[in-house]
Structure 1
Amino acid sequence: MSTAKKSFIKKIIALILSFGPGIFAIGYTIGTGSVTSMIVAGSSYGMQLLWVLLLSCLFSGVLMFAYGNYALISGETALYGFKKHIKGGKILAILIIVGITFGQWNSLMGILGISSNMLFEILAMNFEGLAPYKYETVLTIAILIIAIFYGIMMVGKYKFFEKVLVIFVTFMGLSFLLSLFFVYPLPADIAKGLIPSVPEVEGGKMMVAAFVGTTMAAATFLSRPLFIRGKGWTIANLKQQRNDSITAAVLVFIISAAIMAVACGALYYGGAPVTQVLDMANTLEPIAGNFAVAIFFFGTLSAGLSSIFPCLLIAPLLLADYQSGELDTTSKQFKIVTFIACLVALIVPVFGANPIKTQILTQVFNVFVLPIVVLGIILLVNNKKVMKGYKTSIWVNIGLFAALFFACVVSYTGVVAILDSM
């Protein structure tokens, strides 16, 4: 290999490894919940919901930026700031902890269920004798996965978590982008997808809410101040924090849109909506061959594994945020809470539930905490005393109020969708 090529590869690796706390934003956002929602939407409605994804990513970038700036300027974390500076903030903070933990732990069940099912299908292709023992094999795989991740959590180092996530997210992004070379939607459908509309079919409203629940995840913004602290950033890193927020939001949009586009190209035009984990791969195979199936499998598996970390971290993160603004990954509380999360994660594999249905419903529940999380940061970043004289720009405020309106509308849509499904 030439020196120039080696130098280029080293630069790419250095760029990937230099990624900041935004890598956790991608880990939270693009898991099997997001992949499932994008595949189901792409296979059922084509590119019709691309506008929802675009708005969600735009507002996510604004919120990541606002929470990051608040952390660097005030020196405080989010829930600790809510409790300290907002009237009734203690109750709000507790509601947020309960709501987000419920949503993320539910998501964790689906993530582990889908990842275990995918690994079983890969094993079953090579060892046909496993087919009659699907339940036992899936459960065993799930226990092994969660045990390995719990062991990794006990290492308790931010930089270690970050490096593991970088590997998973990189493989995931490349896998889904490569899949686009095999199947893709019509350009006219992409253009139509940017025009706001809601599918006038059963489950259309729920899918809109699920989209926002997975892409505009409240956990992503609330955890950002703690991850910024873990990274060691200070007020001198304001510009770096802004660029990290923009990069994370853009990458979430590109990867998510790629997944939806592949599902649209492979399934929507053939009238084959997704209901089971393997539907996507089975339909891709005759169109693009085994290689495309392997790539997509690998991407979905990477998405699932990259989300287990943040989902296990969320409850101890929020509790630490509320208590002191400091996360101690070696504490007894951290070990106990993450162990409980591991047990919760096994519920779907133990009961053998359909992980796809579990994931979509979980994403809908995630939107209900969102308006409170957006309103909280609006109050904090516009408090001159808290922000030490730093004035939040009119454009950031416009973005935040637009995000609040969007979050309220989608939460209402989620309520209507759940009531309609009863």
Structure 2
Amino acid sequence: MIRNWFKNIGPGPLVAAAFIGPGTVTVCTLAGVNFGFALLWAMLLSILATVVLQEMSARLGIVSQKGLSEVIRTEISNPILRTLAILLILAAIVVGNAAYEAGNISGSVLGLETLIGNPTLQIGALKLNALSLSIGVIAFVILYLGNYKILERALISLVIVMSVAFLVTAILTKPDLGLVLEGLFVPKVSSESILTIIALVGTTVVPYNLFLHASLVKEKWTQTSDLKFARKDTIIAVVLGGVVSMCIIISAAAIKDAQVDNAADLAKGLEPFFGNYASYFLSVGLFAAGITSAITAPLAAAYVATGCLGWDSQMTSKGFKAVWMFILVLGVLFSSIGFKSIEIIQFAQVANGLLLPIIAGFLLWIMNKSAVLGKYKNTAIQNVFGILILAIALFLGAKSILKVFELI
């Protein structure tokens, strides 16, 4: 039974690996430090929304055997609207992932630095971080092989390591379960917390994951009879990924009277509870979170770019490789020269929250087209959930814009 379950694991863990990166660790850390358990409800809402939207994305990929960007390009008949949609998607996903990549690699470096120090390489006048280069090489090798099974196994292993690290950390802080349950099921919103709520949604319901999932499922499954496996795979992986994010919030909420600005500071804040073990568990978790996202971000950008431009989207094609190489090299370069990515990651999470209604709107529109999905198009109930998520995303996005411009 267990062997059969592992055999049918699909892209779900890869999607979870993509949304639990250093950005998620940072945002969840700040949510826990600044608001305690009060924003756990936002993470629960994000998990439910992610399950609904990722299931749609997986269904689209299996039934159509195309990626989301390919379907959008072929289904929008008006050339002006099609061009605008493609430009919007390329700018948001490809350019956005280039910024994310520096943060992903930097996050993984933060994890390793605690364990083995910070070695540097001097090349002329340029000083490079050796750990950034090493992580870039690992990501390059895994992506260059172009083998879905190798990619899947590598990321699943890293996700398991990451999950155990953060889960153990949360348990060791001995949280008050009553307060945890209250934070989960009693929503609280204040003007101070609205941008953090948007960031929590943006870091979990990741727009680029909708493109990544639709493209990856067709590497694993080709028959509509496999939809049941894809649905189970999505639910289990996303829920477990959400539990990991909640563990980070719970761990951070335990910190009192400590200056915590990012995930690396989380270990320092927890040291009074259980000494240097905090540093070790969190370092391993942060390394795994960083390197999994450092692999999936270039991969997603490549699927989006090739789909939008009508190129061959096979992992071994030259155009596909060129896109992910470009994203990866930028990330390694920015991370190596000490590019400060924490602020950009946080900004990108908020931008993701604002972009979500647009991408979710595209997905809902496609999921109701009989020409694309036939009898597998959305049911009335699926549309109700989808529209509800879209409405919440629009509401939160509007509030965040008002907050940014200090109109509320």
1:91 aligns with 2:87: no
Counterpart in 2 of 1:308? 294
Q: CA deviation at 1:90?
A: 4.3
Say if 1:212 and 1:276 are closer, same or farther in 2 by CA, change over 3 A.
closer
Query: How large is the Cα RMSD of the aligned pairs?
Result: 2.5
From 40, 47, 55, give the equivalent of 1:50: 40
For residues 399 and 226 of structure 1, the distance between their equivalents in structure 2, rounded to whole angstroms, comes to 23
CA deviation string 1:61-94 (max 9, x = no partner): 0011111122222333211211222353443133
* CA distance, structure 1, for counterparts of residue 132 and residue 59 of structure 2: 38
Q: Say whether residues 1:198 and 2:178 are aligned partners.
A: no
The CA distance in 2 between the partners of 1:200 and 1:368, in whole Å, is 17
Q: Which runs of 5+ in 2 are unaligned?
A: none
Seq. identity, %:
25
Equivalent residues in 2 for 1:164-243 (5 A)? 164-193=154-183, 194-201=185-192, 204-243=193-232
Distance 1:78 1:329, change over 3 A: same
Q: 2:64 aligns with which of 48, 70, 74?
A: 74
Aligned to 2:20: 30
* 2:391 equivalent to 1:405: yes
Q: In 2, Cα distance between the equivalents of 1:188 and 1:56?
A: 21
Partners of 1:43 and 1:271 within 8 A in 2:
no
TM-superposed deviation, 1:123: 2.3
Per the alignment, do residues 45 and 241 of structure 1 end up closer, same or farther by CA in structure 2, a change over 3 Å counting? same
Query: 2:111, 2:285 within 8 Å by CA — same for their partners in 1?
Result: no
Q: Which amino acid aligns with 1:198?
A: V
Q: 1:344 to 1:285 in 2, by over 3 A?
A: same
Q: Which moved more, 1:300-309 or 1:412-421?
A: 412-421
Rounded Cα–Cα distance in structure 1 between residues aligned with 2:310 and 2:214? 13
Letter in 2 for 1:144: S
CA distance in 2, matches of 1:186, 1:61: 28
For the residues of structure 1 that align with 2:63 and 2:42, how far apart are their CA atoms?
32
Deviation at 1:276, TM superposition (A): 4.1
Task: Please say if residues 133 and 336 of structure 2, whose CA atoms lie closer than 8 Å, have aligned partners that are also in contact.
Answer: no
Say if 1:73 and 1:235, in contact at 8 Å, map to a contact too.
yes
How far the C-alpha of 1:292 sits from its partner, in A, is 3.5
Matched, 1:279 2:262: no
Q: Distance in 1 between matches of 2:195 and 2:101?
A: 20
Shift of 1:33: 0.9
For residue 212 of structure 1, report the CA deviation from its aligned partner: 1.2
SS in structure 2 opposite 1:83? helix
Q: Which residues of structure 1 form unaligned runs of 5+?
A: 1-10
User: 1:18 and 1:53, CA in 2 relative to 1: closer, same or farther beyond 3 A?
Assistant: same
Note if contact 2:66-2:214 (Cα within 8 Å) is conserved in structure 1: yes
**How far apart, in 1, do the equivalents of 2:298 and 2:208 lie?**
12
Amino acid corresponding to residue 352 of structure 1 in structure 2: G
Cα deviation 1:271-320 (Å, max 9, x = unaligned): 33521443111122221122333112111111111111111212211122
Letter in structure 1 aligned against 2:18: Y
SS in 1 for 2:56: helix
Q: Which amino acid aligns with 2:305?
A: L
Aligned to 1:4: none
TM-score (structure 1 length as normaliser): 0.87
- Asked if 1:332 corresponds to 2:318, the answer is yes
* 335, 339, 360: which one aligns with 1:349: 335
The counterpart of 1:395, out of the listed 381, 398, 406, is 381
The correspondence of residues 284-295 of structure 1 with structure 2, limited to 5 A, is 284-295=270-281
- Cα deviation 1:212-263 (Å, max 9, x = unaligned): 1110001111121210111133211011111112112211221111111111
